[in-house]
Amino acid sequence: MSTQAVMSTYARTDIVFERGEGSWLIASDGQRFLDFNSGIAVNALGHAHPHLVKALQDQAGKFWHCSNLYRIDGQEKLADRLISFSFADTAFFCNSGAEALECAIKIGRRYHQAGGRPERYRIITAENAFHGRTLATIAAGGQARHLDGFAPVVEAFDRIPFGDLNEARAAITAETAAILVEPVQGEGGLAVASDGYLKGLRAMADEFGLLLIYDEVQCGMGRTGDLFAYEKSGVAPDIMSLAKALGGGFPVGACLATSAAAEHMVPGTHGSTFGGNPLAMAAANAVLDVMTEEGFWARVQQAASRLSHGLESLVETYASVFEGVRGRGLMLGLKCSVPNGDVVDMLINDNMLTVVAGDNVVRLLPPLTVSDDEIDLALSKLGSAAKALAD
């Protein structure tokens, strides 16, 4: 095997995993790692969850793929379920988060262009946002390091500071089509949009005839302790992107929308060869089977509170290393005073996986099925890392 054969777009850690069990990944040399990265918020039900394995195996023996020229039973079932749990009336299925955002952006443009307002194409986005790595989504995110070398930039996004309603209002022009925001910023460093901020954006969107788009690719599908992060605020968007945890590890994305927003998304306006194929739909429906079991959310919230209390006390004990706790539910982070990468590396050496986020934060994204013992073990590993870094 050669590391050179794969395009070197990632700074990879030199570990090869062979299999997983719940909250654990087992490397090819037999070492076990406590997985508080979850494939960056993807493996919401941990690794090799029996219900997911069975659902995928059953579908694999029937048929894997058929074209979207035909009805796909699993899509209709998944769309019905996502709609019944959300604000949405309709769903488009794709393969990734960036594709879900591309669909959201296209719906936003088409809503206005086919609705007789062709001048409205610009989208207001937040600083430190992350929406993916396609040409449009790197422009939406606006991070210089993501845009470098990929000019010309898709020139259709206006960035505002996250959380500032006055700046949002000031950014609206006659060309604005929509406002796009992550209810909890993932890559950006786990900033949580307050209920008041989302309410304010909703009111502004209504006042100016704009669409409100939530990117719940990372914070959706249970991460924050509810199926969707926006639920707690009670403030619904017009369009919402989902991906990461949607398939529990199988690549799948979705763009949900109200019927009003998607009114002009008629046959021929959008498509995807693989989007919503039967394997992906079997995986995503199996994820929802588990998440809708009695008591699932109560347990996630209990785990979240155990982890966040533990993190708060680490911040107290190791104030010179950790400045504070960020995030919500099991989408938590520690704002560090030492370089966040040092903490992540120290934890890898102690067989625990985490991931950095912006603003010098270490993200803790355990499977939603994490046990109390695993949370306690993670807290003790974090404590040891902090102790070593404080010395």
Single out the residue of 23, 43, 59, 96 in contact with ligand PLP (rule: CB under 6 A): 96
Is residue 218 a contact point for ligand PLP (CB under 6 A)? yes
29: three-class secondary structure by DSSP: coil
Q: What part of residues 177-206 is at the interface with ligand PLP (CB under 6 A)?
A: 182, 186-187
Angle 296-317/278-291 helices, nearest 10 degrees? 80
- Using the structure block, give the residue that is written with the tokens 């013992």: 373
Single out the residue of 56, 98, 255, 353 in contact with ligand PLP (rule: CB under 6 A): 98
Q: How far is the CB of 134 from ligand PLP (least distance, A)?
A: 8
Residue window 256-295: x/- pattern of binding to ligand PLP, with contact defined by CB under 6 A: ----------------------------------------
Q: Residue 223 has which token pair?
A: 């991460």
Which residues make Cβ contacts (< 8 Å) with residue 248, sequence separation at least 6? 42, 43, 44, 45, 49, 52, 283, 284, 286, 287
Single out the residue of 20, 39, 46, 97 in contact with ligand PLP (rule: CB under 6 A): 97
How many positions of this chain bind ligand PLP (CB under 6 A)? 15
Nearer to ligand PLP, 108 or 186 (CB): 186
Q: What angle do CA 46, 288, 308 make, to 5 degrees?
A: 50
- Using the structure block, give the residue that is written with the tokens 């998440």: 291
Is residue 102 a contact point for ligand PLP (CB under 6 A)? no
Is residue 250 a contact point for ligand PLP (CB under 6 A)? no
87: three-class secondary structure by DSSP: coil
Single out the residue of 111, 121, 130, 197 in contact with ligand PLP (rule: CB under 6 A): 130
Tell me the window of 94-102, 150-158, 272-280, 286-294 that interacts with ligand PLP (CB under 6 A).
Answer: 94-102
Q: What is the DSSP letter of 344?
A: H
- Tell me whether strands 17-21 and 24-27 are parallel, antiparallel or unpaired: antiparallel
Nearer to ligand PLP, 222 or 310 (CB): 222
CA atoms within 13 A on the CB side of 182: 33
Nearer to ligand PLP, 75 or 241 (CB): 241
Nearer to ligand PLP, 100 or 379 (CB): 100
Q: How far is the CB of 72 from ligand PLP (least distance, A)?
A: 21
Q: How far is the CB of 356 from ligand PLP (least distance, A)?
A: 13
Is residue 52 a contact point for ligand PLP (CB under 6 A)? no
CB 150 within 8 A of CB 138: yes
Residue window 311-330: x/- pattern of binding to ligand PLP, with contact defined by CB under 6 A: --------------------
Q: By C-alpha distance, which of 315, 332, 343, 318 is closest to 368?
A: 332
b or e along 268-287 (b: 16 or more beta carbons within 10 Å of the residue's beta carbon)?
A: eebebebbbbbbbbbbbbbb
Is residue 243 a contact point for ligand PLP (CB under 6 A)? yes
Is residue 132 a contact point for ligand PLP (CB under 6 A)? yes
- Using the structure block, give the residue that is written with the tokens 């938590």: 332
Q: Which residues bind ligand PLP (CB under 6 A)?
A: 96-98, 101, 130-132, 182, 186-187, 215, 217-218, 243-244
